[in-house]
Amino acid sequence: MALALVAIFFTFLQLAFGPIHDSVTIDLGREGKLVCDETYNADFAGVFYDVKMILKTLDGKSHRIGDVTFHDEGWSKRIATKRVGDWLIIPLDPGELVQIKMLNTVSGQLNDTTLQAFDLRKDLLYRQKFKDKPDHLFPGSSKVQDISGNAIEVSYEYKAKAEYPSEILVNQTLVYQIDPISGKLQTKEIRERVVQ
Cα distance between residue 128 and residue 194, in whole Å = 18
Is residue 135 assigned to a domain? yes
* CA–CA gap between residue 158 and residue 152 (Å, rounded): 19
Asked if the structure places residue 182 within a domain, the reply is yes
pTM for the whole thing?
0.84
68 in a structural domain: no
Contacts 24+ apart (CB under 8 A), 12-20: 16/42, 17/41, 17/42, 17/43, 18/42
In the chain, the number of structural domains is 1
What is the residue range of 180's domain?
A: 115-196
If one counts every other C-beta atom within 10 angstroms of the C-beta of residue 191, the result is 12
Q: Which CATH number does the domain housing residue 154 bear?
A: 3.10.450
pLDDT single digits (tens) 14-36 = 455 569 999 999 999 999 999 99
Per the domain annotation, does 53 fall within a domain? no
Q: Percentage of residues in the chain with pLDDT exceeding 90?
A: 67
Task: Confirm whether 54 is domain-assigned.
Answer: no
What number of other Cβ atoms are within 10 A of residue 145's Cβ?
12
Asked whether residue 144 is domain-assigned, the answer is yes
Does residue 168 fall inside a structural domain? yes
In a domain, 108, yes or no: no
Question: Model confidence over 101-117: pLDDT tens digits?
Answer: 999 999 999 999 999 99
Percent of the chain predicted with pLDDT > 70: 88
